[in-house]
Amino acid sequence: MDLSDFQDVIRRTYLDRDAERGLDGTFRWMVEEVGELAKSIRHDDQAARRHEVGDVLAWLASVATLAGVDLEGAAARYANGCPVCGHLPCACPMA
């Protein structure tokens, strides 16, 4: 499934609820899911990690939809490698 199709499925599934919750509320739900992903990483739980990555991706698609951002277009920024240095792999100095 490509990102545009995924975003469309999430939009068709959750748009009414997301719109009612609003962009800020939907963003906060996504942040909560990022926290659950962090927990699965800390506990080295591969099954939970896959589940939580899926949840974060779904919530990101909802946030993007409410914000008027096409995920496919946003991802295109990275299509040729690092958008800062232009290299693949990135050659930027570590911060």
Would you state the pLDDT for residue 30? 98
Q: What is the CATH number of the domain that holds 12?
A: 1.10.287.1080
**First-to-final CA distance of the chain:** 34
- Look up the pTM and report it: 0.92
Distance of alpha carbon 93 from alpha carbon 3, whole angstroms: 30
Would you state the pLDDT for residue 95? 72
Q: In total, how many domains does the chain have?
A: 1
Would you state the pLDDT for residue 37? 98
The domain of 61 spans: 3-78
Instruction: Please list the ranges in the chain whose pLDDT falls under 50.
Output: none
* C-alpha dist (Å) from residue 17 to 9, 32, 57, 59, 65: 14, 17, 17, 12, 12
80 burial (CB, 10 Å; 0-12 / 13-18 / 19+) is exposed
